[in-house]
Amino acid sequence: MTLFDPVRTYAHSRPESLAIVDIESGRQWTYAELNVVIDRLGSWIVDQFGEQSETRVATLAKNCAEMLVLQLACARAGTIFVPFNWRLAHAEIEALSADAEPKIVFHDPDMVPPTGARPILIEEMLELGNQGAKPPASARRPFESVSTLLYTSGTSGRPKGVMLSECNSFWGCSNLIYGNDVSSRSVFLCDMPLFHTAGLFAAARTPIQAGGTVLISHGFDPQKTLARLSDPEWKVSHYFSVPQMAATLWNQPEFDATKLHNIVAWAIGGAPNPKAQSERFVSAGVRISEGFGMSETGSNFAMPPHDLDMLLSKAGSCGLPLMMIEAKIVGDDGQEVPTGERGELWLRGPSIASGYWHQPELTAKAFPDGWFVTGDAATCDEDGFYYIVDRKKDMYISGGENVYPAEVEAAIAEMTEVGECAVVGVPDERWGEVGRVYIIPVPGQSVTGDQVIEHCLTKLAKFKVPKTAVVTDAIPRTASGKVQKHLLKAQAIEELKSS
């Protein structure tokens, strides 16, 4: 059986190197200390459920070091780690729990755990078990077996439980390591939620696999995050955010690009990053490296962060396929499209999940013949760089022409007064569907819907220009920062009905 346990390896080869810092509490662990803590918890889990039990062990908590410790302990104990999204309504969490059927839920004191599982306060987790105890090596399940059940953020409706193995984790993190200049000297700041692939794997497991350090925060806070990224004592070398987080940081009064030149790679993902935003950061010397990954696939594409000229010349691209990823763009006929043409992005490689928990029909549809059908519309240029056009399902048809909201949003993002925007297609008697854009101005600035539409008329074909524009103070997003287009579209339709 393949043994993959970087913490155990580094506990011997670099025992005094710093592995985890829990920023809010100030607690920290070297690799030697972390190895002991994981062993103790893993041994306790085996005592509860036996070896290789496949028992689900869940969390309902904000970011903390305990979540990462628990995932690593579950791997040693042969159980399955299930981090629930604490921002969901209680009824939604109950539905996830009914699907995953965890035996234990470690939770924050102010959160109500789902019924049917034994609740334990997460702050008591590291006191469980006996000092010096270790789980037997035979407790671990095979490398390719499910070790983490990660529920998707649900931008289109019902979340799906993505079945991920330690094999998937190894190759997904390896892709990010080799594509983003990660080493044992790297320091990652993890603001992304640990119930999301970007937080759990890209920002937390990746530095651990490389022998580096992860700084775990409770979550994104613009002022605190900017201070941490700029602090020479923290020496943050890598950061992951969604485009909206980057825009928010850029618009902070204290933002100073020169204090961020120490960042080796600031990975952007979760949604297409507007070309104008990439150009702003890179022109200021900040190595924004747009990439692409999913819960189902791990890290798949990245721009070369060491090459500022390339970052500028290919701004808007999610980059090149990473080392262990095969990619192709497929047309509606199921065949690969010629270079430069739009189609749906398909991926294959060892970081790809085995499927969806308790959903065999959906698994068969999404994972045909070893490929994963991403649902993203994409193109590839003659140099092999890929561009995510939009989620295929978010495309709408206006007067017979395909309109991709991300393209419209990228044009609007060029307006310095606009902090955030989101476009959805809504029914229209004449054109079938038309665009409706929601705009949040940059704090301290103002912009009107008419100004946005006028700007679009100078940048886009007329059929792509939104018919209506709404200035607002909130756009519905998932906990990972993705716009919930299905909720926004429902809101838009109701608004138009009542107008």
Give the pLDDT score at 155. Answer: 46
> How confident is the model at residue 270, as a pLDDT?
78
Helix, strand or coil, per DSSP, at residue 338: coil
Pair 438, 421: CB distance under 8 Å: yes
3-state SS, residue 82: strand
Look at the domain 6-386 and name its fold. Rossmann fold (3.40.50)
State the Cα–Cα distance between residues 155 and 464, nearest whole angstrom: 23
Please identify which residue in the block is written with the tokens 């234990």.
104
Which segments of the chain have a pLDDT < 50?
A: 155-156
Are the C-beta atoms of 317 and 303 separated by less than 8 Å?
yes
Measured CA angle at 314 (ends 238, 173), to 5 deg: 35
Taking only the tens place, the pLDDT of each residue in 413-471 is: 999 999 999 999 998 888 878 999 999 999 999 999 999 999 999 988 888 999 999 99
Helix axes 31-49, 65-77, angle to 10 degrees: 60
Quote the pLDDT of residue 2. 63
How is the chain split into domains, by residue range? 6-386, 395-498
Options 3.30.1330.200, 3.40.50.11900, 3.40.190.10, 3.30.300.30; CATH for 395-498 is 3.30.300.30
- Average pLDDT over the chain, rounded to an integer: 93
pLDDT at 372: 96
